[in-house]
Structure 1
Amino acid sequence: MSSPVKRRLTGQHHGDLRNALLRAALDLVAEHGPHGFTLAGASRRAGVSVAAPYKHFADRETLLAELATTGYREQRKRFAAAVATGGEPAEQLASFASAYVRFAAEEPALFDITFHAGLDKSRFADLAAAGDEVAGLLLPIARELTADADDAYDLLLRIAGAAHGLAEFFRQGLFGAGSETLTETEEKAARTARAITRPK
């Protein structure tokens, strides 16, 4: 699956400097993690001067925040498609958990930026809003299974936390490798979500 960040055209001239820098940063994060790149490194990767990023980004965190916003928006798109498959709320949340694992597997750099870059959302309104949109999609589903809003948030947090942990285990190779392992991990996440929403 192609990344939500547009791939840069080859050549030295960039008609879209912003996107070229975002693509370069995403590639560097994929190679070195969210703390393993600098604006200067992104500039070199994009083939532009080290001063070029400051035309679009105030600092390294501003660039990361834009990528993290993209990450949240891609998650919302995927999660919306997953829960739209229908079924009762517990099954919708199981589908969400499965989609969470697949997002982490298919978009590891965006996943790392979104969750491991240590960004302060209070600095970036678009990033905070994108995160809220994900919660706004899922909380109403959880609310159908609980007595009040606080319980719904707690339920969603437990399901997301379990899916996040399984995604991390998968990426660390604890379950093996290959497409079959990804499918099995998705199924583990769905089963765990069902166990949380339907305790015996």
Structure 2
Amino acid sequence: MDSEVKRPSGRHHGDLRRALEAAAMDVVAEKGLAGFTLAEVSRRAGVSVAAPYKHFADREALLATLVLRSYEEQRRRYRAAMARVADPVEKLAAFASAYVRFAVDERSLFELTFAAGLDKRARPELAEAGAALLGLLEAPAHAICGDDQRAHRLVLAVAACAHGHAVFVLEGVLDGPRDARRQAASAARVLANAHVAL
């Protein structure tokens, strides 16, 4: 009876990759990037230390997969938050608030995005995914500025502001997530209104 409940080591019904990714996220969540090794991921997934190499060339390849997952989840959340409002200034504010929320709700994924130490020049898919995130801000920024160059500066300013608030709340500089989200949204509005085309 026990054998029906407990799977033999290394058997994941043909979905070894998913099992390794789930185990990798557990390792990052519990031990951080410093404690992230393929050996530990293999142990958590219940497979041999050679098993990850069936899907990932090395530690960095598995980390890159997790970072891509983070970008995809961020893009989904930010797009949904921005879709709830019509005004371009409020779209940027919604992005900033959602950015902070993601950092708090998905701390492991957030930290992976910026602390995995991966060379994005060697992994263009990561650079493209990051650019796609910023791309969400381009239309509202252009609607506010009416000029490509000023819109680009506004995109970077809002993204940097949101990131700063996210880091501050994670580091305990700000009182709490709700306050940080409110402040990030407010700061995004100030930046946006300062760029309104005359």
The answer to whether the superposition gives a TM-score over 0.5 is yes
> Is the CA contact 1:83–1:96 (under 8 Å) kept in the aligned structure 2?
yes
- State which of 7, 12, 27 in structure 2 corresponds to 1:14: 12
Moved more, 97-106 or 141-150: 141-150
Are 1:98 and 2:97 an aligned pair?
yes
1:10-159 matches, within 5 Å, as 11=7, 12=9, 13-15=11-13, 16-159=15-158
CA-to-aligned-CA distance 1:60-79 (integer Å, 9 cap, x gap): 11111111111111111011
CA-to-aligned-CA distance 1:107-129 (integer Å, 9 cap, x gap): 11111111111212233343233
Are 1:184 and 2:182 an aligned pair?
no
Moved more, 98-107 or 160-169: 160-169
C-alpha distance in 2 between matches for 1:75 and 1:185 = 18
CA-to-aligned-CA distance 1:112-157 (integer Å, 9 cap, x gap): 1111112122333432332232122221221112243222121111
Q: Could you say what the CA RMSD is over the residues aligned between the two structures, in angstroms? A: 1.9
> Is the CA contact 1:35–1:117 (under 8 Å) kept in the aligned structure 2?
no
Structure 1 position 91, deviation (Å): 0.7
Moved more, 57-66 or 147-156: 147-156
Identity %: 51
**Aligned pairs, how many?**
188
What amino acid maps onto 1:69 in structure 2?
Answer: L
Q: Structure 2 length as normaliser, TM-score?
A: 0.87
Gaps in structure 2 of 5+ consecutive residues = 1-5
What amino acid maps onto 1:48 in structure 2?
Answer: V
Q: Structure 1 length as normaliser, TM-score?
A: 0.87
> Is the CA contact 2:134–2:159 (under 8 Å) kept in the aligned structure 1?
no
